[in-house]
Structure 1
Amino acid sequence: MTGNKAVAYKEPGKVEVINVDYPTFELKDGPGVNPANVGRPVNHGVILKTVATNICGSDQHMVRGRTTAPPDLVLGHEITGEVVEVGRDVEFIKVGDICSVPFNIACGRCRNCKERKTGICLNVNPDRPGSAYGYVDMGGWVGGQANYVLVPYADWNLLKFPDKDQALAKMMDLTMLSDIFPTGFHGAVTAGVGVGSTVYVAGAGPVGLAAATSAHLLGAAVVIVGDMNADRLAQARTFGCETVDLTKGGPAEQIEQILGVPEVDCGVDAVGFEARGHGQGASEAPATVLNSLMEITAAGGALGIPGLYVTGDPGGIDEAAKKGALSLSLGTGWAKSLSFTTGQCPVMKYNRQLMMAILNDKVSIAKNVNAKAISLEDAPKGYAEFDAGAATKYVLNPNGYLS
């Protein structure tokens, strides 16, 4: 039997690399697995040997103890891999194919999947619509920060790269297709970014930088990124973004200094529920980003909200926040006729087009998010550095494919 190691959440602030079972074509019981999913046959799936798997800010929420994730939950929903085994019902994906795995797990059969709403598939998670690998309350599908991982509904879910050698050469860019590049793109698209737009992106983490990259790709005239982390703001400036330092106060005045008016056409929330207030030493205030975006987005505009919000947060600042209930100035949004789009990005809606942009040298997403390959064994260090604010997107290299 082939060995398998994986990165697992142990307790708040701690992850470990542990030994786990090699995948089989059946969903087994384990940490976070919904009992209704135990024993579920996956003959429509494949087993991947992981080429690259990334540390995500969404993982970090769990690692900080800000969700109800159980100990020993195997992490990782950003997965790219080489097919090493195929289930008996797989028709088109073959052994040896290198594929990107959308972080959304989708059946391809339900009403939502047929409407391209793969982030809210109705058949893969008994708890609620929508599922993902290695994530709390998402059905219990084992995460991909491991040597090997099972991918269900493979013919539907996998994006096969057209040329293996080309894919490996561009892997640091292509690995972003599983989540952050489509997610950032979704944030920009749903915010209404187009040719000549002025855009404000709240958050200069990897998703925020991916949203800023996407805004440029969509033809924005000015892209402004706001954050409190000087290194991350500096990273945004490396590819042509204007920046707002939120330690100096709210974004409106600084946006006016850049644009001549204190508002933008389009707003993107790439922060989510652990948002802080504005100003030096500001404390956590989870509605801050959403409320400030409503203030600075022009009337009739739109907000793209790829930042994660949850219904269970043990570390919430009050009882309402622990249930995901925030003090939103919805009246502001209503008065300005603003549109809102929330929820998981439907990755399959965008990933092929973004793959083509990467393969044809139209975008350098790895450079823009400052991607860095590290070993699986160094994952705990990567998590700690990322949590401390490193302006880096950490890409795990479990099987030595990456240089």
Structure 2
Amino acid sequence: MSNKAVSYAGPGKVEVIDIPFPEFVLRDGPGVHPANVGRKVDHGVILRTIATNICGSDQHMVRGRTTAPEGLVLGHEITGEVVEIGRDVEFVKVGDVVSVPFNISCGRCRNCKTGATGICLSVNPDRPGSAYGYVDMGGWVGGQAEYVLVPYADWNVLKFPDREQAMEKILDLTMLSDIFPTGFHGAVGAGVGVGSTVYVAGAGPVGIAAATSAQLLGAAVVIVGDLNADRLAQARSFGCETVDVSLGDPKDQIEQILGVPEVDCGIDAVGFEARGHGREAQTEQPATVLNSLMDITRAGGSLGIPGLYVTGDPGAVDEAAKVGSLSMRFGLGFAKSHTFVTGQCPVMKYHRGLMQAILQDKVTIAKNVRATPISLAGAPNGYAAFDDGAAQKFVIDPHELIPR
């Protein structure tokens, strides 16, 4: 059976290729850890992909900013229909429409049992934590494909209660696999609550999801900072204040909005490819956002950091940054008694509640991020547009099931 997929073809390039139809065993391939080759997945299901999104984390690999091997099948934001179940699957049925957390977790290890599914100890031989189609994450085949294997299915998938309703809201529901919980995790980590003032650095899809989440949590004011005018306009479209960091330090613009040069809660939705502010806005300075957030977040406040930071960046600006060592003003954070919340979002902690918010019309995440369906063949163009700063979230629709 045909199974076309999007793969990394070297810096700046992706291509659509033919890959084998999934089996209930992990085969060798680009990025697959040798210790995972031959791993039986009788606890898994095979999905016909309904929606699979292009993520900024994918873009880091495509830009050549990680050690991802060429040929790696991309995609970790997966929503699909179950077409085949493994021998050991008990509760998931053929025909179920499900959301798949980007974190692959076993549900059995010490961390999973405490809800820390972003750092599962069992699915990646290299280190805690795993994901589909991502460098150094165990080699599980990515989901930007017509069909994909999902392990530990009884544990991992979130079943939508009604198929017809799910398809009507599929552009919202597909955000449950990653960016909506990730943005929400950033807001929770930053301590957002009723009446909070919040600054979100970055108006890409995760930043927009964090801003949406802050509103859902009761923030009084949500301010979003970025260099991209279109993305800032998108943030304003659903009630956010905005800061253009190309004009200078966000602190001064925040004071113009709030009357004081600080916020209660800071969220980093940029990560390691951060740029400077003002005249240095075109210069990459990977610690800029972290240092800025420590400066503008009140003493005793918290920093939620859903933006990606890596341990290996061959394209970094200096030798230290190539191994994830950044020039942070940690002494400032210490002096202000800041709390830092970092790492992969444990999607399962949030996705069911956020699903209910979507199904009950409490939030319109697809509208806020401008979810835009594209074909599988159109994925290379989607990656190029996203890299150029399009204020959109591209949703790959391999089987043309999403109304245009």
Corresponding residue number in structure 2 for 1:381 = 381
- The reply to whether residue 324 of structure 1 matches residue 320 of structure 2 is no
Corresponding residue number in structure 1 for 2:257 = 258
Q: Distance in 2 between matches of 1:101 and 1:254?
A: 39
Q: Distance in 1 between matches of 2:70 and 2:338?
A: 40
Corresponding residue number in structure 1 for 2:361 = 361
Where in structure 1 do 4 or more consecutive aligned residues deviate above 4 Å? none
SS at match of 1:41: coil
Q: Distance in 1 between matches of 2:206 and 2:9?
A: 25
Corresponding residue number in structure 2 for 1:187 = 186
Corresponding residue number in structure 2 for 1:25 = 24
Corresponding residue number in structure 2 for 1:309 = 309
Q: Distance in 2 between matches of 1:308 and 1:393?
A: 17
Instruction: Tell me which amino acid in the other structure corresponds to 2:136.
Output: D
- The reply to whether residue 144 of structure 1 matches residue 143 of structure 2 is yes
SS at match of 1:377: coil
Q: Distance in 2 between matches of 1:233 and 1:73?
A: 33
Q: Give the C-alpha shift of residue 60 in structure 1.
A: 0.1
Instruction: Tell me which amino acid in the other structure corresponds to 2:6.
Output: V
Corresponding residue number in structure 1 for 2:202 = 203
Considering only aligned residues, what root-mean-square deviation do their CA atoms show, in Å?
0.4
Cα deviation digits, residues 235-282 of structure 1 (max 9, x gap): 000000000000101110000000000000000000000000001443
Instruction: Tell me which amino acid in the other structure corresponds to 1:52.
Output: A
Q: Distance in 2 between matches of 1:225 and 1:34?
A: 39
Cα deviation digits, residues 278-337 of structure 1 (max 9, x gap): 014430000000000000000000000000000000000000000000000000000000
Q: Give the C-alpha shift of residue 400 in structure 1.
A: 1.4
Corresponding residue number in structure 1 for 2:349 = 349
SS at match of 1:168: helix
Corresponding residue number in structure 1 for 2:372 = 372
Instruction: Tell me which amino acid in the other structure corresponds to 1:131.
Output: S
Corresponding residue number in structure 2 for 1:238 = 237
- The reply to whether residue 123 of structure 1 matches residue 122 of structure 2 is yes
Cα deviation digits, residues 215-239 of structure 1 (max 9, x gap): 0000000000000000000000000
Q: Distance in 2 between matches of 1:309 and 1:190?
A: 16
SS at match of 1:82: strand
1:388-399 mapped onto 2 (5 Å cutoff)? 388-399=388-399
TM-score normalized by the length of structure 2: 0.99
Q: How many residues align?
A: 402
- The reply to whether residue 288 of structure 1 matches residue 288 of structure 2 is yes
Q: Distance in 1 between matches of 2:86 and 2:250?
A: 52
Q: Give the C-alpha shift of residue 138 in structure 1.
A: 0.1
Q: Distance in 2 between matches of 1:67 and 1:156?
A: 30
Instruction: Tell me which amino acid in the other structure corresponds to 2:338.
Output: L
SS at match of 2:378: helix
Q: Distance in 2 between matches of 1:382 and 1:164?
A: 27
Corresponding residue number in structure 1 for 2:88 = 89
Q: Distance in 2 between matches of 1:341 and 1:128?
A: 19
Cα deviation digits, residues 123-144 of structure 1 (max 9, x gap): 0000000000000000000000
Q: Distance in 2 between matches of 1:400 and 1:154?
A: 25
Q: Distance in 2 between matches of 1:161 and 1:275?
A: 36
Instruction: Tell me which amino acid in the other structure corresponds to 1:395.
Output: V
SS at match of 1:13: coil
SS at match of 2:394: strand
SS at match of 2:90: coil
Q: Distance in 2 between matches of 1:311 and 1:66?
A: 11
Cα deviation digits, residues 143-165 of structure 1 (max 9, x gap): 00000000000000000000000
TM-score normalized by the length of structure 1: 0.99
Instruction: Tell me which amino acid in the other structure corresponds to 1:349.
Output: K
Q: Give the C-alpha shift of residue 16 in structure 1.
A: 0.1
Q: Distance in 2 between matches of 1:397 and 1:182?
A: 21
Q: Distance in 2 between matches of 1:27 and 1:304?
A: 35
Instruction: Tell me which amino acid in the other structure corresponds to 1:376.
Output: L
Instruction: Tell me which amino acid in the other structure corresponds to 2:85.
Output: V
Corresponding residue number in structure 1 for 2:215 = 216
Cα deviation digits, residues 93-116 of structure 1 (max 9, x gap): 000000000000000000000000
SS at match of 1:44: coil
Please, which runs of 5 or more residues in structure 1 have no aligned partner?
A: none
Cα deviation digits, residues 176-223 of structure 1 (max 9, x gap): 000000000000001000000000000000000000000000000000
Instruction: Tell me which amino acid in the other structure corresponds to 1:326.
Output: L
